[in-house]
A and B are shown apart, each in its own frame.
Chain A
Amino acid sequence: MRCSRPLQPEISDLIVDYEPATLARRDVARDTVLAALAGRARSIASAIPHTGGLLDRRAVDGILVRSHLELQRLHEEFRVGEMMKGLLGPLLALVRAATRERPIRLVDLGCGMGFVVRWLAARGQLGEDVELVGADYNLALVRAAQRLADDERLPCRFVAANAFRLEQPAHVVMSTGVLHHFRGDALPAVFADHDRSGALAFLHADIRPSKLAPLGAWIFHQARMREPLARFDGYWSAVRAHSADDLRAAVPAAFQLAMLDARPGIAGLLRIFQVAIGSRTGDLRAAYAPYGRRLS
């Protein structure tokens, strides 16, 4: 199986750490972070407050919350909520036809501050039978997401948990801008988790790799973001985006797979995301037939 090569890590992947079994947060040694980074990334990380050689958790949380607020702005500009709403419709129809269980649980893997879940709760109109859940390892982001949802009385909830080990498992797993964080063997492993968890379908949107994507990401993150970490990670997320072939190779045979906007070409210049859509049930390609040649 061909997997993505290792690249410069994103700083946000290094400055928080969790106990794998319990997800309890672990201290992060500043020297460990700095040793993994070079150049500008090292300079950004070295500015994070620290005590006794350990990164200050509250300062790290502040950086991540500010970065996610700025990321939400980009998602608003690119109308990611609308995009996900449109794409989820056919998938939910397949799932409704395949199971009598209600509600249909739609879980956002690595939801961060839960913009997509909250947007869908506010404006998605996915149906009364759909339960919206955001899952992320980062308790600070999960709490911020829940607070924002409560402020606006949105019908969704957020949990600090592994999205594949929820008490009430997901029928559909989705994500936005998350897949590129899974490097090497972690990418097929996360899709194997989909299979093991019993999820009926998935929909993962991530940055569409192209020669222009890093330049576009650099321009946008310089123009729109204030937080140095967000600028750096935003650029590298475009560099680290998985190719469609890598994604295809990582998905277990139990799922039908369709890739949206993965074809190279001029039209693709206007599409910053490619989307991996998978389903165990129904005729996936027929469900997405209206997308025509955008599907591959």
Chain B
Amino acid sequence: MTTVVLLVTLAMFDLLLAGFRAVAGRDGRIAKAPLFRAALLRAALWGAVVIAANAALVAALDAWPAMLAAGRDAVWVFGTFATVTAAAIGFWFAPQHELRLVPTILVLGPLTLVRPLVIAGGLTWAAARSPEPRVWLAAAVAGASMLAFEHVLGRKHAGTWRHLVAQED
């Protein structure tokens, strides 16, 4: 049960950040708190759908002990990654200007860049340690859904810039 709770928590944390990134850099306003709140809410709702769909697949595949063993391995990889990420985000609230920038400069940029590799690598590693093909299938679907999430959510905002481009006289 602990493994399941941890995996769901880690997945939701990652999907929330993906939802934030999906809207970041698309809206030029200064006051964006309502926009980001809406993006996080949307990510939470659709993230719950993605997690539920993956859970339903795991249940349908009917290989619980093997799934649980692979899940434990995945928790180590994603748990470590999420801990570093959360710690870096925590610095954002530091009282000193430069201390607030440290996570952005040293951590968040590089972590965003390697996230697809961590997801693919973590799931591959967890699945490869299992002889059960149904685990491989569940890992592949989970990886694809996690990696596609930001792109799919971002489509809603992809045309935001258009209203800023006026026809020249």
Chain A residues with CB under 8 Å of chain B are 25, 57-58, 61-62, 65-66, 68-70, 72-73, 77-79, 82-83, 86, 113, 115, 118-119, 122-123, 139-140, 143-144, 147-148, 151-152, 154, 216, 219-220, 222-226, 270-272
Contact = CB atoms under 8 A, between A and B. Distances in A.
Nearest to A61: B165
A66 B157 CA distance: 12
Nearest to A221: B109
B102 A270 contact: yes
Interface stretch (B3-11, B24-32, B128-136): B24-32
A102 to B, nearest CB: 25
Contacts of A222: 113
B2 interface: no
Interface residues of B, number: 30
A140 to B, nearest CB: 6
A222 B117 CA distance: 14
Q: Which of A61, A77, A79, A118 has the most CB of B within 10 A?
A: A77
Interface in B153-169: 160-168
Interface of B: 24-31, 97-98, 100-102, 104-106, 108-110, 112-113, 160-168
B141 to A, nearest CB: 26
Q: What 5 A-B pairs are tightest by C-beta distance, nearest first?
A: A73-B25, A144-B164, A223-B112, A70-B25, A223-B113
A79 B109 contact: no
Given A154-B30, A219-B110, A224-B109, A69 B25 contact: yes
A147 B98 contact: no
B25 A144 contact: no
Contact of B30 (A69, A123, A224): A123
A224 B168 contact: no
B109 A223 contact: yes
B112 A224 contact: yes
